[in-house]
Chains A and B, each alone.
Chain A
Amino acid sequence: MKRNVVVVLAVIVALGVIAWAGVANYRKRKADESRAKQPVIVLSKASDPGSVSAGGDETPPFKNPLENKQAPQFTLKDTSGKKVSLADYKGKAVVLDFWATWCAPCKVEIPWLAKLHDQYASQGLVILGISEDDLDPDDKAALFKQKQEISESATKLGINYPVLLDDANVAKPYGGVDALPTTFYVDRNGKVVAATIGLVDRDEIEANIKKALGGGEQAQKGQS
């Protein structure tokens, strides 16, 4: 009799646990569904607000998530292992170009950036290429190879500015950077004055560089 009571109690407890697990599972699924429904980063080109998105759906035009905000600080290593911080370039206009070796449109834009770097470096322009290629920190041999491939690609493209390896997900505070190239233009005061997603024409890049170079100057004059 006593044994029967124990078994019945065990079954009741088990049924309770099943019910609880079912409710927990249902709540988790609902939460996952709701997360999945959240809007993803907009992908259309900055200069083409009416364009159809990559997914074939109509999406709103790209809006710079950091417009007139301070550029998020970061420290990353370049391809030679040297640490580079955004703070190192205080007082300079900085272009942050997120790219990857597998990104064909990036390869169109990068040679333009290299030439513009030559043209405007004397006026205080710094360009930092931030590679979004996958890195495998747990596999030393693979990591070495990955860094080598990024370095080779940078050389082949004629990159004449530092290439940083985004092993710290710096892209996240910059809005996630879901499409490449994504470029941010930071003025001399560290404020983001422009940003573009996707390949844009050379004139637009140059105009944004001038904005970054000039915007800070004006701001500095205003402060003095």
Chain B
Amino acid sequence: MRSIRVRVATILLLAASLAGAQKLPWESGDAQTTKQFVKFLYPEQVSIAANQDSVVELHFAVNPGLHINSHTPHEKSFIPTQLIVAEPQGVTVGPVDFPPGTDFALTSIPNEKLSVYTGEFVVRAHVKARAGEYLLQAQLRYQACDAMSCFPPRRAPVAVSVVAK
């Protein structure tokens, strides 16, 4: 009886400390406070076969009037779009396939072609998970520009609930 009471008290104290300290991953850094130029659209949840390679298609949209560098910009100094994934225990994220960029030129330098994404685009992540439910969190790192100016690199938050059966 005593040990149960002690356990209850311990759990409550632990819960109390967690409640105070808890900070969700997307609440940290620039993902939360900075204006985003790219938005993660969907899916919010996917069901995949447990212990098998599956492809999860992540849909994004670039704000109208803007472009972001593709995953393979033509120029070395340009910042590629990347997906940074935090793998929960029991989940592995294998290669991530990015779509090819579209050639784009600023009117002021028509001969210099940029490789960019505009509008909606899809990133395909290869995911394998043990049976269970997971919250897969990631950040899309991108660097956006419009026709006249460029914005420092930012990270758009991505969160997908993965159900592996």
Q: Which chain A residues have a beta carbon within 8 Å of chain B's beta carbons? A: 3, 7, 10-11, 14-15, 17-18, 20-22, 24-25, 32, 35-36, 40, 43, 45, 52, 54-56, 100-108, 132, 134, 149, 153, 178-181, 197-199
Contact = CB atoms under 8 A, between A and B. Distances in A.
Nearest to B21: A21
A-B pairs with lowest CB-CB distance, top 5: A14-B12, A21-B20, A198-B149, A198-B148, A17-B16
B63 A102 contact: no
A108 B108 CA distance: 7
A14 B77 contact: no
A85 to B, nearest CB: 25
Contacts, number: 117
**Which of A22, A25, A35, A102 is the most central at the interface, judged by chain B CB atoms within 10 Å of its CB?**
A102
A105 B106 contact: yes
B112 A104 contact: yes
Interface residues of B, number: 43
A14 B17 CA distance: 9
Contacts of B20: 17, 20-21, 24-25
B146 A108 contact: no
Contacts of B60: none
Nearest to A199: B148
A180 to B, nearest CB: 5
Contacts of A24: 20
Nearest to A197: B149
B108 A105 contact: yes
B19 A108 contact: no
